[in-house]
Every structure is written in C-alpha cells, then in structure tokens.
C-alpha cells in the first residue's frame, strides 16, 4: 500500500523534474521574456515556486531555508530581501529576475533534496500536526504540504504554457 509520504515524495519529485524540463536549453533572455504585458516570466515562475516550497518546508520542519543556509541567495544576486519568496511582487520585481537555467535547476534540486528527506520520513500522525492555527480550521501539515504541491504545480503549468508560446 502506498503511504501519504510516498505520494508526496512522488509529487515533489515531479515538480523538480518539471522545473528542470521547462528551463532546459533556454537562455537568460528567454527565461526573462514576457509573452504579454504583465505576464510572469519562466525564470520568475520557477524561482518563485521553489522559494515558496523552500520557505514552507523549512517552516514545517523547523529548519533553515536552503535559499539562505546554502548560499543560493548570494548566487542569485537578486535585488530582494533574503526572505522574499515572490508573494506580492510587482511587474517591476518580476523584470529584475534574470538568471541562468543551470542556476534555477541547481536551486530546485537543492530544495527538492531537502524536501524529499523531510517528507519521506513523515508518518500519518505527523501529517495531523497543526502548523498554523491562525486559520479556521487550523492548518495541518498534510494540508500545508498539499497546498505547496498545488501551488507549485500551478506555477509550473504556467511556466510550461509560457515556454510553449516562446
């Protein structure tokens, strides 16, 4: 029987694979190209989905974000706060994300490695733990992880759509 942890390992693994595929072979200019005024770029979308995953997994696990602890913040050299995940970013903010595909893939792999180590050890009881009681009903770890997976898949689909238009 497949456990909930097995399903999450599979889902997060697919997000990582999809992130690598959507940026494969693209130049920094292509990763920064808007297909319509105000549309998000592939580079920003992949950066953002991995930042959110990194942030939420670190919070749930009680650990440091890979972004900061492994030096990805400095490698990317973006003009944002080290804590920025892309939430609330303006069109101008999106325009400042100019990156190499290899950098995005490296960060995605680092985040995925940490994510998989965390989720593969989760038990059913762990998934019932409340991680945010500011909502009604309170958010459990299971709900938070499914939310991250859903958000990541939406942004990955957006990036795939943009790539198809390039």
pTM of the predicted structure, to 2 decimals: 0.95
Tell me the pLDDT tens digit for each residue of 124-157.
899 999 998 999 999 999 999 999 999 999 999 9
Could you give the CA distance from residue 76 to residue 47 in angstroms, rounded to a whole number?
Answer: 10
End-to-end CA, the chain: 42
Q: Which helix (H) or strand (E) holds 98?
A: none
Tell me the pLDDT tens digit for each residue of 18-71.
999 999 999 999 999 999 998 999 999 999 999 999 999 999 999 999 999 999
Three-state DSSP class for 95?
Answer: helix
Could you give the CA distance from residue 61 to residue 56 in angstroms, rounded to a whole number?
Answer: 9
């Amino acid at each position: 029987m497949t456990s909930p942890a097995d399903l999450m390992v599979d889902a997060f693994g697919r997000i990582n694979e999809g992130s690598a595929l959507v940026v494969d072979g693209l130049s920094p200019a292509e990763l920064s190209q808007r297909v319509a005024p105000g549309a998000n770029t592939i580079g920003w979308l992949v950066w953002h989905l991995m930042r959110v995953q990194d942030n939420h997994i670190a919070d749930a696990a009680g650990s440091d974000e890979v972004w900061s602890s492994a030096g990805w913040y400095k490698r990317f050299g973006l003009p944002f706060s080290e804590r920025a995940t892309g939430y609330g970013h303006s069109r101008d903010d999106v325009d400042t994300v100019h990156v190499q595909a290899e950098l995005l893939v490296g960060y995605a792999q680092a985040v995925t490695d940490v994510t998989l180590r965390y989720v593969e050890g989760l038990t059913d009881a762990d998934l019932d733990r409340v991680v945010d009681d500011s909502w009604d009903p309170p958010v459990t770890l299971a709900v938070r992880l499914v939310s991250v997976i859903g958000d990541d898949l939406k942004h990955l689909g957006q990036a795939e759509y943009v790539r198809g238009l390039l």
